[in-house]
Chains A and B, each alone.
Chain A
Amino acid sequence: MKFDSKIPSGPLKDKWKNHIASGKLVNPANKRKYDIIIVGSGLAGASAAATLGELGYKVKCFSFHDSPRRAHSIAAQGGINAAKNYQNDGDSVHRLFYDTIKGGDYRSREANVHRLAEVSVNIIDQCAAQGVPFAREYGGTLANRSFGGAQVSRTFYARGQTGQQLLLGAYSALSRQIGLGTVEMFCNREMLELVVIDGEAKGIITRNLNTGEIERHSAHAVVLGTGGYGNVFNLSTYARNSNATAAWRAYRKGATFANPCYTQIHPTCIPVSGDYQSKLTLMSESLRNDGRIWAPKNRGDKRPPSEIPEEERDYYLERKYPSFGNLAPRDISSRAAKEACDDGRGVGETGLGVYLDFSDAISRLGEDTIRERYGNLFDIYKEITNESAYEVPMRIFPAVHYTMGGLWVDYNLMSNLPGLFVMGEANFSDHGANRLGASALMQGLADGYFVLPYTIPHYLADVPREAAPSTESAEFQEAEEAVRDRTDKFLSNKGSQTVKSFHKRLGDIMWNYCGMARTKEGLEKAIELISQLREEFWQDVRVPGEGKELNQSLEQAGRVGDFLELGELMCRDALTREESCGGHFREEHQYPDGEARRDDENFAHVAAWEFKGDNKIPERHTEALDYEETKFTTRSYK
């Protein structure tokens, strides 16, 4: 298979401008003649649907949520980056570009990242105009904070609810278009199949989650903005219902899946408290600006933190990374915490946790200042753990938070399947092997508002201007049959184990062997275990209820079924990537001091996997990453 990333020629900083200028256009009168299906109404989906509808295309937008406003994007807390340089601290498009490339450990495409940095400024303008209540200075201008270890203040935020406010902004734009009739919204619809006709994506099959109806929808192009797949791990900071089904169904229909092993583990989450646990809650990274992370020096030290004297505490981040200290990037801080716990120095009854201590900050700045800065976060912590972080240090532990991998797309966000476009967290393109804080919101909105609307005409312009394919065609028949069979299989299986129990077991395998640190043996074992578990799942899963009504067990069954395949692919990818980079750490590949060792000779490429059939080994393709502007350097935060 040939991978053409379609990166425009010319100097990096002009690529996007030239691409727009030279790009094909669909004339206004003809836009109405094109139907576009958008799956997803998160930041990426909602912004794209609103913009394409506004441009005049006939848009159908789908979401399994009961309202577009509920997409997982709503949970984002910290903020969104933009190279506005409002703080006059020397930020620029180039600096944001460079930080993102470096943060991604040199595994992302220069051209994409530069474009992202360029449009980041328009995003803030757009959102402010929509009425997003960003934090402001007294003078009325926008406020910024520095975030995720960036050395400039380029993060825009709305209290601790930035994702919510940005999503509500996109949702309001989408709502406007729905009201105007340019976008038709389908809530409570889960895409369960992609329909491919003559090698091009032309439709989807959905299930109405409230009535159980299986429906066919055809269009001239299909766009996925369906989010990340972190719930493969069962426990994560993702919303409970986030899933990979849309992307996975596309993969099984020929779209390649890129870098599945790149997963981000967020260092500051509230530790697991019991096996009933349903999700992990993120404590915003901003806490690391004032909190000091430590673990006891002695193994198995079970004394309460207050009784552990200063000299018996190991502030390991400050020790290992003097210059960045507690602000070291996510992957590094997460791994350091894991090391401490593996070393038997973890805290809390599970031994899986380290302290995030504010006592110094409180004595330095006073409790009021701390309350003012982090009051809401301390409240959340208290609410969940019943402990006051003003008195005892917080206990934190890393948790799965974001997936950099996703469906492979070219510069136009089109997958290798013509007519299938992928945006937001669902694609792989911009974050390389590790995402910087406050960059996902930026990417989701960039793709939806400012990239796809310009690139989709490149494809549509050549699509004949006749009605979208009939839903009676053989391909639709087939796809619907496939969905029905799957559903019936689940409901008639009458096994003895619940879907949840399988999800939990898969999660444990993934966390233990494909989590923060990975080894050859571990990954091979995991692949073995997962395929066994998958067997067992199809043999013995029990799905109660009927298909013709709201059936949450059935929904979960389908999603876990796909996770059981995706999990294996992640392990394969991790196994074949014989290096350590960003969110992918192979214990075999590290420097003596435990730092990740990249192999730019052999692995400066994107790995895109092609489905070859059930229980067949997928084929690994590569797209070389050539850097014109930046040169490889070892990421050092010492």
Chain B
Amino acid sequence: MNVKLRVWRQKNNDSEGKFEEYEAKNLNPNMSFLEMMDVVNEDLTNAGEDPVAFAHDCREGICGTCSCMIDGKPHGPETGVATCQTYMRSFKDGDTITVEPFKAEAFPVVKDLVTDRAAFDKIQQAGGFISVRTGSAPDANSIPVGKEVADLAMDAAACIGCGACVAACKNSSAMLFVSAKAGQLNMLPQGKPEKDRRTLAMVAAMDEAGFGNCTNQYECSAACPKLISEEFISKLNRDYIAASVKSVFKAQAL
């Protein structure tokens, strides 16, 4: 099969970007989208042009590096997959495919299709952890965790930090990511002691980074390669009310 590509080329965040058109010829439908991009880049290199920069690593949907807006949907037409798990059989022969980077004020473009998602790390550094000194942990079975809770926590923990939620959200809100991260830890008994601090700190860091406000449109969960549910956003809203009230009234344990 053959396709036409409209690819966003941008030298860096300061320079203006624009679309370039490329042809990708006699492709195998079982090729992954990124393998198709590899082929295009080989051709560009051989033609003495600058290949298209795109982010990728594991190529099996787990590292969260790949991040292309394909035909207006993060990670391409299929649901519940990352860009690297998108295969050419999802497109028709002769299609024109538009490829853009994930765009958000908090995700500056590095080059072409590569965006800088360090803002996510900042949020994690603010509170995305359970403070436990190495070696100080009690026996693992001394903290029982009901299967249901463990499974829910795992649903949230499946987040690969790709940023598709931000890319898909009309408001560039990072709520799905933050709620998944905070939700996982807030749900587990191990995470309870730091729950309020964590919730306040992570939301503060999220706002600090310049993401938009969630207006409950649920585009994020629809675009999420791990289909993380928006109910974690609801939970974050809930946890944040509790945390705020306690902090406003300086509530003491006793």
Direct A–B contact present (CB less than 8 angstroms): yes
Interface of A toward B, CB cutoff 8 Å: 47, 50-51, 54, 65-70, 72, 74-75, 84, 86, 122, 124-131, 133-142, 158-159, 161, 164-165, 168, 171-173, 175-176, 178-179, 185, 187, 210, 239-241, 273-274, 276-279, 281, 380, 383-386, 449-450, 453, 498, 500-501, 542, 544-545, 549-550, 552-553
Interface flag for B199 (CB, 8 Å): no
Do A544 and B50 form a contact, CB below 8 Å, given A67-B120, A210-B116, A550-B110?
Answer: yes
Contact A175 B57 (CB under 8 A): no
A141 B51 Cβ-Cβ under 8 A = no
The answer for the CA separation of A4 and B48 in the assembled complex, in Å, is: 52
Contacting residues of chain B (26-41) with chain A, CB-CB under 8 angstroms: 28, 30-32, 34-36, 38-39
A75 neighbours in B (Cβ, 8 Å): 58, 60, 62-63
In the complex, are the beta carbons of A131 and B185 less than 8 A apart?
Answer: yes
What are the residues of chain A within 8 A of B121 when measuring CB–CB? 67-69, 175, 178, 185, 187
CB contacts under 8 Å to A, within B106-150, are: 110-111, 114, 116-118, 120-121, 124-126, 128-141, 143-147, 150
Nearest CB in chain B to that of A168: its residue: B157
B105 sits at the interface (CB 8 A): no
Q: Which residue of A lies closest to B57 (CB)?
A: A239
Of the 9-residue stretches B69-77, B81-89, B215-223, B230-238, which lies at the interface with chain A?
B81-89
Instruction: Let me know if B60 and A133 touch, CB within 8 A.
Output: no
Write out the residue numbers on chain A whose beta carbons fall within 8 Å of the beta carbon of B38.
Answer: 276, 278, 500
**Given A74-B58, A130-B130, A176-B129, A65-B185 contact (CB < 8 Å):** no
Interface residues of B: mostly helix, strand, loop or mixed?
Answer: loop
Q: Is the CB of A140 within 8 A of B57?
A: no
- The CA-CA distance from A384 to B39 in the complex, in Å, is 18
List residues of B whose CB falls within 8 A of some A CB: 11-12, 28, 30-32, 34-36, 38-39, 42, 44-46, 48-51, 53, 55-60, 62-65, 81, 85, 87, 89, 110-111, 114, 116-118, 120-121, 124-126, 128-141, 143-147, 150-151, 153-154, 157-158, 160-161, 184-185, 188, 190-191
Q: CA separation between A68 and B120, bound complex, in Å?
A: 11
| Closest chain A residue, CB of each to CB of B188 | A131
Given contacts A50-B134, A69-B121, 15 further A-B contacts (CB under 8 A): A51-B134, A68-B121, A69-B124, A69-B161, A72-B58, A74-B63, A125-B138, A126-B137, A140-B144, A168-B157, A175-B125, A178-B125, A241-B57, A500-B38, A500-B42
Please tell me if the beta carbons of A545 and B50 are within 8 angstroms of each other in the complex: yes
Given contacts A125-B138, A126-B137, A133-B157, contact A239 B63 (CB under 8 A): yes
Q: How far is the CA of A485 from the CA of B146 in the complex (A)?
A: 58
Determine the distance from Cα of A176 to Cα of B132 in the docked complex, in whole angstroms. Answer: 10
Contact B154 A158 (CB under 8 A): yes
In the complex, the answer to whether A133 meets B153 with C-beta atoms within 8 Å is yes
Task: Identify A66's interface contact among B42, B62, B117, B160, CB under 8 A.
Answer: B117
In Å, the complex CA distance between A386 and B32 comes to 12
Are B134 and A66 in contact, with the CB atoms below 8 A? Answer: no
Task: Give the distance in Å from the alpha carbon of A75 to the alpha carbon of B128 in the complex.
Answer: 21
Contact B35 A67 (CB under 8 A): no
Residues of B close to A276: CB separation below 8 A: 28, 31, 35-36, 38-39
Shortest distance from the beta carbon of A110 to any chain B beta carbon, whole Å: 24
What distance in Å separates the Cβ of B165 from its nearest Cβ neighbour in chain A? 16
Pairs of residues from A and B, 9 with the lowest C-beta to C-beta distance, nearest first: A140-B144, A129-B137, A172-B129, A128-B140, A179-B125, A125-B137, A133-B154, A136-B150, A133-B153
Interface centre among A135, A544, A545 (most CB of B within 10 A): A544
In the complex the two chains form, what is the Cα distance from A161 to B53 in whole Å? 28
Point out the residues of chain A lying under 8 angstroms from B46, CB to CB. Answer: 498, 542
Query: Whole-angstrom distance between the alpha carbons of A159 and B57 in the complex?
Result: 22
The reply to whether A136 and B129 form a contact with Cβ atoms under 8 Å apart is no
Residue of A nearest to B141 (CB): A141
Query: Shortest CB–CB separation between residue B26 and chain A, in angstroms?
Result: 11
Q: Quick one: closest A residue to B44, CB to CB? A: A544
Q: Is the CB of B111 within 8 A of A544?
A: no
- Tell whether, in the assembled complex, residue B147 and residue A140 are in contact, meaning their CB atoms are under 8 Å apart: yes
Q: Which residues on B sit within 8 Å (CB–CB) of A278?
A: 32, 34-35, 38, 59
Contact status B60-A66, CB under 8 Å: no
The answer to whether A70 and B57 touch across the interface, beta carbons within 8 angstroms, is yes
| C-alpha gap A86/B125 in the complex (Å) | 34
How far is A210 from B114 in the complex, measured between Cα atoms in Å? Answer: 10
In whole angstroms, how far apart are the Cα atoms of A172 and B157 in the complex? 12
CB closest chain-A residue, reference B131: A176
Q: Are B58 and A130 in contact (CB under 8 A)?
A: no
Measured in the bound complex, the distance between the Cα atoms of B160 and A241 in whole Å is 17
Interface centre among B36, B46, B144, B154 (most CB of A within 10 A): B154
CB <8 Å contact, A136 and B28:
no
Question: Given the complex of chains A and B, what is the CA–CA distance between A168 and B154 in angstroms?
Answer: 12
Q: Which residues of B contact A545 (CB under 8 A)?
A: 50-51
User: Do A133 and B184 touch across chains, with their CB atoms under 8 A apart?
Assistant: yes
Q: Which A residues lie within 8 Å of B50 (CB)?
A: 544-545
Q: A129-B132, A383-B81 are in contact. Are A136 and B147 (CB under 8 A)?
A: yes
Q: Are B137 and A128 in contact (CB under 8 A)?
A: yes
Query: In the assembled complex, how far is the CB of residue A509 from the closest CB belonging to chain B, in whole angstroms?
Result: 20
Q: Is B60 a contact of A281 with CB atoms below 8 Å?
A: yes
A124 / chain B contacts, CB cutoff of 8 Å: 140
A66 touches B28 (CB 8 A): no
A133 to B136: give the CA distance in the assembly, Å: 19
A-B contact pairs, 22 of them (CB 8 A): A66-B116, A67-B117, A74-B62, A74-B63, A122-B137, A128-B137, A129-B132, A130-B132, A130-B137, A133-B184, A136-B144, A164-B62, A171-B124, A172-B124, A172-B130, A187-B118, A210-B111, A276-B39, A278-B38, A383-B85, A383-B87, A453-B134
Most buried by A among B55, B56, B132, B150: B132
